[in-house]
A and B are shown apart, each in its own frame.
Chain A
């Protein structure tokens, strides 16, 4: 069989595979506009991140090793691993929420830029892959304590910035009087 013919068959099989993915209903109910705005306006988990990150610094546990409390050290490290994983989870959750908001916004947009949407999709893929990568590194027992600690310095500033942006976003969305009702109408759908 010639290569083009084989490619046609493979392409058709690939399309059937993609159809299987695309035709399924998305998991879970989509968020309503109120839920998104509410979530965006709430205090983020990052608000206490500097304190959490501070507790993850490696030098915090050095004294345990020096004094020979190895069992306690490993217990503390285990807890820190869980904290780090939880941090990643929140980060991912926050990201998904923002993406959901951006998708809802896209349904209202009079025009969309293909490049802008592509950039967002690319960023999303990168974020998801990096998150998974980091999660696996943590699960495999690599020790990112200092890595987490090193961002604690910037976390306070970041958190403040995020909170400001969130508050602005929520206010502006609420200022558009019919914004939520438009969204909800659209999401009732023809189902």
Chain B
């Protein structure tokens, strides 16, 4: 059993080192100015590692105190992660008031549905409630990010590489967390070491993505967003575009139906 223990400690040490590297890049590149919540998240994950080391040293890892302490810290980290993700979404979409209003409502609604569903299907086992809630939140974060990127792609909004890669890192981490969590729930404590190592590896990969994003980030530019036009003008232009799209659609349908009627 010594080998997995050593591997775990090694990956833990490397991950902590990379967290420190990430935070130092955040400070050096002054990313905290444009992404204050992400910078806070970078700091909090380092503090989480420190608190975990403290807990392992002074608390019994099998005690309820250790469990409560570890999950309380995790809850804080997850909340800050959520805030960091919304910060990215705001930076990507908020400049486009119409899209932002619509997308934020849809994304929040979709997240709430996923959260409710995840908790509902997790059953009423209290011993699994925390891991189930944690998984539900991670799934929510993943779906939120994918939804945001799909909106940006559909409307062809310009996304800075930094935002794109930060969002990708968050999403990958959340998705792998969901998978790991499900594996852990199925195999229980017999897969605890595997679960821990996989979690550390997925976070390690995410850290690499973020470090590369911040390292290659150019100086933050002043983004000029379009000034919204009046509701009336939008209504008129949109109506005309819609009518033209409908005409083309009808034309295609006509083409298809007249073809079908012959075949």
Enumerate chain A interface residues (CB-CB to B < 8 A): 1-2, 4-9, 11-13, 15-16, 18-19, 21-24, 26, 30, 91, 94-95, 98-103, 105-114, 116-117, 120-121, 123-124, 126-127, 130-131, 133-134, 137, 142, 144, 146-148, 150-151, 154, 158, 161-162, 165-166, 168-169, 172-173, 176, 178-179, 182-183, 185-191
A103-B156, A108-B229 in contact; A134/B234 too (CB < 8 A)? Answer: no
Q: Is the interface of B mostly helix, strand, loop or mixed?
A: helix
- Of B14-22, B72-80, B189-197, B246-254, the one contacting chain A is B246-254
Give Cα distance in the complex from A166 to B240, angstroms: 8
B residues whose Cβ falls under 8 Å from a Cβ of A = 95-99, 101-102, 105-106, 118, 121-122, 135, 139, 142-143, 145-146, 149-150, 152-161, 163-164, 167-168, 171-172, 175-176, 178-179, 181-183, 185-186, 220-221, 223-231, 233-234, 236-238, 240-249, 251-256, 258-259, 262-263
Number of A-B contacts (CB under 8 A): 233
Query: What does DSSP make chain A's interface, helix, strand, loop or mixed?
Result: helix
Query: In whole angstroms, what is the CA distance A99 to B241 when docked?
Result: 8
- Evaluate contact between A112 and B101: CB separation under 8 angstroms: yes
Pair A9/B157 contact, Cβ less than 8 Å:
no
Residues of B within 8 A of A127 (CB): 245, 248-249, 252
Contact partners of A190 in chain B: CB under 8 A:
158-160, 163, 220-221, 223
Shortest B104–chain A CB gap in Å is 11
